[in-house]
């Protein structure tokens, strides 16, 4: 089978960026934010853009992004190198605020409509990071544990090609303190796999016991 061309992926991305399927449900209007090239080796699947990302059109362009880059131990230049890192959230547009003042969940239309089509063009992905519960439920389905903590705690079970992670928002600071294994065991393995994959190699499984 012929490998998809970047031109084909670009046509798909233009189609996605003109999508208005959820327009009636988006208080700030549609602005799909994602990045991908056929050469990408690392795929980051997050939740949905926040207000700053909506304003700038740059994914993870906020405090959560700073923390995620620290977790991965990559620079901004590395993070935004589309030739190596694809950024495809579960919801492409800012979903608005909920009654409690937090962000609403990603719109449910995006992932079923677009993700499989995008993945057809990303044949070189060696490592997928599932950042947050929505990404984990969509990609792991019945393999996801009942809670995010259990899913992330069982990260070794998903093989070297997938790592589930919590969302790097300020709310996660208390979670990381309650779960020290995340910084002590998962982050070193994550950084090693990311470095190897971005250098062109395959991710290696980490062999210690499940958290």
> How many of the other CB atoms lie within 10 Å of CB of 206?
16
CA atoms within 13 A on the CB side of 192: 10
User: Crossing angle, helix 110-119 and helix 6-17, to 10 degrees?
Assistant: 170
Whether residue 208 lies inside any domain: the answer is no
Q: What is the DSSP string of 139-158?
A: HHGGGS-SSHHHHHHTGGGG
End-to-end CA distance of the chain: 40
Q: Taking 50 as the threshold, does the pLDDT of residue 207 lie above it?
A: no
Number of domains in the chain: 1
- Domain limits at 191? 6-198
Which residues have CB under 8 Å from 164's CB, separation 6+? 130, 135, 136, 140, 144, 148, 151, 152, 154, 155, 158
Whether residue 164 lies inside any domain: the answer is yes
The predicted structure's pLDDT at residue 1 = 56
CA atoms within 13 A on the CB side of 53: 29
pLDDT in tens, 56-115: 999 999 999 999 999 999 999 999 999 999 999 999 999 999 888 788 999 999 999 999
Whether residue 207 lies inside any domain: the answer is no
Whether residue 211 lies inside any domain: the answer is no
Whether residue 89 lies inside any domain: the answer is yes
pTM: 0.94
Whether residue 204 lies inside any domain: the answer is no
Confidence of residue 2 (pLDDT cuts 50, 70, 90): low
Whether residue 106 lies inside any domain: the answer is yes
Burial class (CB in 10 A: 0-12, 13-18, 19+), 81: middle
Whether residue 118 lies inside any domain: the answer is yes
Q: Please report, for the domain that includes residue 86, its CATH number.
A: 3.40.470.10
For residues 84 and 42, is the Cβ–Cβ distance under 8 A? Answer: yes
The predicted structure's pLDDT at residue 5 = 83
């Amino acid at each position: 089978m012929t490998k998809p061309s970047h031109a084909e992926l670009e046509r798909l991305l233009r189609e996605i960026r003109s999508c208005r399927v959820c327009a009636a449900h988006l208080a700030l209007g549609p602005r799909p934010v994602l990045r991908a090239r056929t050469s990408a080796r690392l795929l980051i699947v997050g939740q949905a853009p926040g207000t700053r990302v909506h304003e700038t059109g740059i994914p993870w362009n906020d405090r959560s992004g700073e923390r995620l880059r620290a977790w991965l131990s990559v620079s901004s230049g590395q993070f935004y190198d589309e030739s190596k890192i694809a950024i495809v959230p579960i919801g492409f547009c800012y979903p608005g605020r909920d009654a409690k003042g937090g962000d609403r969940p990603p719109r449910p239309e995006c992932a079923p409509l677009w993700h499989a089509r995008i993945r057809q063009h990303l044949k070189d992905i060696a490592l997928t990071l599932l950042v947050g519960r929505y990404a984990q439920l969509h990609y792991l389905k019945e393999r996801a544990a009942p809670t995010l903590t259990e899913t992330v705690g069982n990260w070794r079970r998903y093989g070297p090609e997938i790592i589930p992670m919590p969302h790097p928002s300020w709310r996660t600071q208390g979670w990381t303190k309650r779960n020290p294994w995340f910084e002590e065991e998962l982050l070193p393995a994550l950084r090693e796999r990311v470095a190897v994959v971005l250098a062109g190699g395959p991710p290696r499984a980490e062999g210690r016991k499940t958290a």
